[in-house]
Amino acid sequence: MAGMTDQEIIKQISEEVRQSVGYYSTELKNQRTEALKYFYGEDFGNELEGRSSYVSPDVRDTILWIMPSLMRIFTGGDNIVRFEPQGPEDEKEADQATDYCNYVFQRMNDGFLVLYTWFMDALMSKNGFVKVYWDEYTEVKTDTYENLSDDEFVMLAQDDDIEILEHTQFDAPQETSEYSPPPQMGPMGPMGQPSPMMGQMGGQPGQMMPQAQQPIVLHDVKIRTKTTKGKCCITPIPPEEVLTNKNPIAPLSKNRFVAHMRKVSISELKEMGYKDVDNLKTVETFLDFDQETLARFSFDEPDIKDDPTDPVNRKIWICEAYICLDVDGDGIAEKRRITVAGDRILENEEAGSSKLISLTSCPVPHKLFGLSIYDIMWDLQLLKSTIFRQILDNMYLANNGRYMALDGMVNIDDLLTSRPGGIVRVKTFDAVKPMQPPLLGAPAFNLLEYVDHIKDVRTGINQDMQGLDPNTLNKTASAQANRLGAAQSRVELIARIFAETGVKDLFYAILEVVQKHENKPQTIRLRNQWVTMDPREWDNKYDLSVSVGLGTGTKDSIIQSLFQTLQFQLTCLQGGLQIVQPKNVYNAAMELLKAQSIKSGDLFFTDPTQVPPQQQPDPMAGEIEKAKIDAQAGIQKQAMKNDATLKKTVITLQGKAALRQAEMGMQDTQHMREMGVQNMQHQREMGVQNLQHQREMNVDIIKHNHELKNERTRDPGSQEPGS
């Protein structure tokens, strides 16, 4: 059997679109359109001129009161989901998959806004949809480089990812210095020949001439760098853009036909990698006149038409369909992913499950589309708005009532003009009488209170939960706790449904996409550390399960329960009970911080599994330790004995030295005494000798004087004159 042609495939997809749920003017689309109007608080269409047109925003209030609790449950911790290993061989891969998939969702994509938009769509329009896909894109960057050398320019030009836009080549300026040495001269020109400039410069053959310097070439370039990158993208999709076959079942991937129809520009198609798309035909579809799309923007933008004049911004409809078709003609329908734009197929490939993920707040068994808050609340909003309008109209009539007037006895213009202090001219005193309307009073307000009670029962959102009940102090603590617990249980049921019907499938899709398309190990920052992991090593996603942890009760009760559990665990550890391990205490501490909205739990506690294992004690450690102690004691005893011996020896040596020093001192004293005696004797002998010598000199002088006197006596003429 021959396969299907492109035109047959396009025709088949067009027919599936026309018959799909969500097509123009279906009941589903009408309900979702009304839900948007009720959310915005638009008029019901039954308003009367001159009467109150108040609309009670119960649908919007209920949705906005549920959203904070949902976002706290899913974004209160570090990880939204956790992959659990099915066996010991999956332990490492499960931890890596948990960290990386949460990183892709929260860091590489705006995970908080994805969840917020997804949940809001589900609460408002029955189902919310997100799309998971791998986006390969080209990052374009323009740079300018100046004064590049030849080698640098060649290396730049040889890069395949670089496109040279502008190139300027020039010689580098010659730098001269005031103190540079004179140029070298030579007798010969190039190749040993005489310089041809010799004659012009007035030189003679063989004269030294300047040598020619080779100029340096530089380059200025302007380049464009194109880098191809890819990442896993998660995008919320408006519900009106998702189509499926009749009687769809959950999950969305099990249906025969699922399509995403959207409007994109020619420029966006080129960015996606499609070629030759400038001449694609603009085909009008039902979404051009879709009442749900109009209702989404009519609140603040009455005219939503967008007709750009620039050809590259011209928008066309594309249909990305996951459809079961027998394309190859073998008689078996295969699931294929086919993208159609205008009258042309852009992609046609085999596909596993569709990457369109759906969730609903109130599932209906055996159906894809569940119930929204609008489906639960629309009649109460209409009823409450009607009661409010009647009360307001009653007050208007009380303040601006109707009157009975005698014909011809009253100035009608004065009567019709209502102003403070105004005068009504009459001809008789009883010409004007007011017509008193009956006041609604307490019965009307009791009816409003009853409507609010019905709303509390349906949604779980009551005045106690909102902190608006003036009678809260008059209620017992247990009754108050029961009401709050019941209301919180309704919200947590919605959270559990979201986790099991949508968030789990979303993270399975993320895991499948990164396993299929990541082509190299990825390095990401987790808990203040850089971690390298390779998604290609995660062989089989079905060995992993997803667990979304949700508590029960109010936030304070959860914190109190966790604190009590942590205290009991510590008591068990101190008592030596084997029912608690350090990992259990760590998990309880982390959950306690998470309940307190503290995300950085690793800053306060360390995972015991990350602590290096302690060395196991040696059975002979006690004896070895005792031997060490005994040896140490022996060493200390011997050291003390040696110290005593040394001290005794030192004392003995010090005594001998002192004795010897004393003896030496006595010897020195005796020697000094002997030296003193000898000096005294020597001095005495010298004195005697000096005295004897002096006596002898005196005798000689006397003898000499006596001889001179005798000579003068014998010869008187020999005396000197005047003597």
pLDDT at residue 378 greater than cutoff 60: yes
SS3 546: strand
Cα 421 to Cα 418: distance, rounded to the nearest angstrom: 9
pLDDT confidence tier of residue 385, bands split at 50, 70 and 90: very high
State pLDDT tens for residues 403-418. Answer: 888 888 999 888 888 7
State pLDDT tens for residues 239-256. Answer: 999 999 988 888 888 889
Q: What pLDDT, on the 0 to 100 scale, is given for residue 479?
A: 52
Retrieve residue 287's tokens.
Answer: 């979404």
Provide the pairing of β-strand 209-210 with 162-171: unpaired
Report the mean per-residue pLDDT for the chain: 79
Q: What pLDDT, on the 0 to 100 scale, is given for residue 234?
A: 95
Average pLDDT of span 181-190:
44
Report which of residues 452 and 187 the model is more confident about. 452
Report which of residues 124 and 704 the model is more confident about. 124
Q: What pLDDT, on the 0 to 100 scale, is given for residue 543?
A: 54
CA neighbor of 58 nearest in space, from 34, 33, 38: 38
Cα 610 to Cα 624: distance, rounded to the nearest angstrom: 31
If you search the block for the tokens 């191809």, which residue do you land on?
228
SS3 355: coil
- Give the bridge partners for 523, in sequence order: 532
Q: What pLDDT, on the 0 to 100 scale, is given for residue 723?
A: 38
Q: What percent of the chain has pLDDT over 90?
A: 17
Q: Which segment of 182-191, 276-285, 301-310, 348-357 scores lowest on mean pLDDT?
A: 182-191
pLDDT at residue 467 greater than cutoff 90: no
Asked if 21 and 244 touch (Cβ cutoff 8 Å), the reply is yes
* Cα-based distances in Å from 254 to 213, 247, 323, 335: 79, 12, 11, 10
Q: What pLDDT, on the 0 to 100 scale, is given for residue 265?
A: 87
Asked if 342 and 281 touch (Cβ cutoff 8 Å), the reply is yes
Q: Which segment of 79-88, 271-280, 618-627, 679-688 scores lowest on mean pLDDT?
A: 618-627
Q: Which segment of 461-465, 504-508, 564-568 scores lowest on mean pLDDT?
A: 461-465
Q: What pLDDT, on the 0 to 100 scale, is given for residue 481?
A: 55
State pLDDT tens for residues 650-680. Answer: 677 777 777 777 777 777 777 777 787 777 7
pTM: 0.68
One-letter amino acid for residue 325 of the chain: L
Q: What percent of the chain has pLDDT over 70?
A: 80
Q: What pLDDT, on the 0 to 100 scale, is given for residue 668?
A: 72
Cα 162 to Cα 148: distance, rounded to the nearest angstrom: 16
Average pLDDT of span 157-164:
84
Backbone angles phi, psi at 538, to 5 degrees: -85, 95
Q: What pLDDT, on the 0 to 100 scale, is given for residue 387?
A: 92
One-letter amino acid for residue 634 of the chain: G
Q: Which segment of 11-20, 208-217, 463-472, 487-496 scores lowest on mean pLDDT?
A: 463-472
181: Cα within 13 Å, side-chain hemisphere: 3
How many other CB atoms are there within 10 angstroms of residue 95's CB atom? Answer: 15
pLDDT at residue 711 greater than cutoff 80: no
pLDDT at residue 35 greater than cutoff 60: yes
Q: What pLDDT, on the 0 to 100 scale, is given for residue 484?
A: 55
Q: What pLDDT, on the 0 to 100 scale, is given for residue 455?
A: 85
- Estimate to the nearest angstrom the gap between the alpha carbon of 459 and the chain centroid: 34
Most confident of 57-61, 83-87, 443-447, 700-704: 57-61
pLDDT confidence tier of residue 308, bands split at 50, 70 and 90: low
Report which of residues 568 and 305 the model is more confident about. 568
Asked if 240 and 32 touch (Cβ cutoff 8 Å), the reply is yes
State pLDDT tens for residues 220-238. Answer: 999 988 888 888 999 999 9
pLDDT at residue 721 greater than cutoff 50: no
pLDDT confidence tier of residue 62, bands split at 50, 70 and 90: very high
pLDDT confidence tier of residue 329, bands split at 50, 70 and 90: confident
Report which of residues 465 and 49 the model is more confident about. 49
Cα 459 to Cα 469: distance, rounded to the nearest angstrom: 17
State pLDDT tens for residues 628-652. Answer: 777 777 777 777 777 777 777 767 7
pLDDT at residue 145 greater than cutoff 70: yes
Q: Which segment of 28-37, 490-499, 552-561 scores lowest on mean pLDDT?
A: 552-561
pLDDT confidence tier of residue 702, bands split at 50, 70 and 90: confident
Secondary structure element (H or E) that encloses residue 699, with its range: helix 621-714
Average pLDDT of span 297-321:
76
pLDDT confidence tier of residue 21, bands split at 50, 70 and 90: confident
Q: What pLDDT, on the 0 to 100 scale, is given for residue 616?
A: 59
State pLDDT tens for residues 541-562. Answer: 655 555 554 444 556 777 888 8
pLDDT at residue 153 greater than cutoff 60: yes
Q: What pLDDT, on the 0 to 100 scale, is given for residue 192?
A: 42
Q: What pLDDT, on the 0 to 100 scale, is given for residue 358?
A: 93
State pLDDT tens for residues 115-130. Answer: 999 999 999 999 999 9
Structure letter (DSSP) for residue 499: I
Q: What pLDDT, on the 0 to 100 scale, is given for residue 209?
A: 47
* Cα-based distances in Å from 631 to 153, 602, 627, 638: 75, 46, 6, 10
Average pLDDT of span 370-390:
93
Cα 233 to Cα 115: distance, rounded to the nearest angstrom: 14
Report which of residues 55 and 215 the model is more confident about. 55
- Give the bridge partners for 325, in sequence order: 334
Report which of residues 47 and 183 the model is more confident about. 47
- Give the bridge partners for 131, in sequence order: 235, 356
